[in-house]
Amino acid sequence: MKSDQYVTVAREGVHEAEINRSRFLCSLAPAATEREAQEFIARVRKEHPTATHNCFAYVVGADASVQKASDDGEPGGTAGVPMLQMLMRRDVRYAVAVVTRYYGGVKLGAGGLIRAYGGVVGEALDALGTVTRRRYRLATVTVDHQRAGKTQNDLRSTGRTVVDLRYGAAVEIEVALPEADLPAFEAWLADSTAGSATLTLGGETYAS
């Protein structure tokens, strides 16, 4: 079952927290692919070579098909997993989080570490902001050149998202529609173009 929407990180950034004299820096970034996530992790590690730990978690895929986490030397399950759980709990996808810890001399214990690592990711998501992306079905409306301008205006005035325009023997207008909107859209299109437009359904995309 594909999800109809997911949340992702609005922009790359860093959020810092101090917990019992340890500095926790959570670096967050959008990541379209696993490779992008890994490159971001490598970059953060390079920026903080003297840190005690650089733990990470990332989720790629609208259905969270790729999930990875690392404790980077912290006791097993106390860092990467709570970070990953926070991303999953907030429905965050296509995102990577790296928490850099500079140890301040006070041991936090397993429970304290779990709260610290998960908590700082949650705080970073709030501080940097998130965007919701919804699932749309791509559909191509084909009309003759005479009707194309009016059809485009009608589409926009009814709040439809025009993704692409292609001019050939006829004009192809690609739109993104919520799946549930398709039957109503077909009826509206037939009505507004007096039945002269054709509608071809394509793949799916996610957009904010």
What does the pLDDT look like over 22-32, one tens digit per residue?
999 999 999 99
Over 80: is that where the pLDDT of 95 sits? yes
Last residue within a domain, chosen from 69, 99, 128: 128
Q: Mean pLDDT over residues 107-112, rounded?
A: 94
Q: Mean pLDDT over residues 180-207, rounded?
A: 89
Task: Report d(CA 15, CA 81) in Å as an integer.
Answer: 19
State residue 84's pLDDT score: 98
Q: Mean pLDDT over residues 73-102, rounded?
A: 96
- Domain identity same for 103 and 192: no
- Domain identity same for 109 and 177: no
Pull the structure tokens for residue 123. 């705080």
- Domain identity same for 111 and 169: no
State residue 206's pLDDT score: 82
Q: Which residue is listed with tokens 């965007």?
A: 131
- Domain identity same for 93 and 140: no
Classify 71 in phi/psi space as left (phi over 0), alpha (psi -120 to 50) or beta.
alpha
Q: Which residue is listed with tokens 């437009």?
A: 197
Mean pLDDT of the chain: 93
Question: pLDDT digit string (tens) for 127-145?
Answer: 999 999 888 889 999 999 9
- Specify the number of domains making up the chain: 2
Task: Report d(CA 27, CA 55) in Å as an integer.
Answer: 10
Task: Report d(CA 43, CA 47) in Å as an integer.
Answer: 6
What's the pLDDT band for 2 if we cut at 50, 70, 90?
Answer: low
State residue 1's pLDDT score: 47
- Domain identity same for 148 and 109: no
**Owning domain of residue 120:** 5-128
Pull the structure tokens for residue 185. 């859209």
Pull the structure tokens for residue 96. 């990577």
Pull the structure tokens for residue 203. 């793949």
Would the pTM count as exceeding 0.85? no
- Domain identity same for 9 and 82: yes
- Domain identity same for 12 and 107: yes
Pull the structure tokens for residue 33. 């692919």
State residue 10's pLDDT score: 93
- Domain identity same for 64 and 96: yes
Task: Report d(CA 173, CA 143) in Å as an integer.
Answer: 8
The CATH number of the domain holding residue 26 is 3.30.230.30
Q: Mean pLDDT over residues 202-207, rounded?
A: 83
- Domain identity same for 76 and 161: no
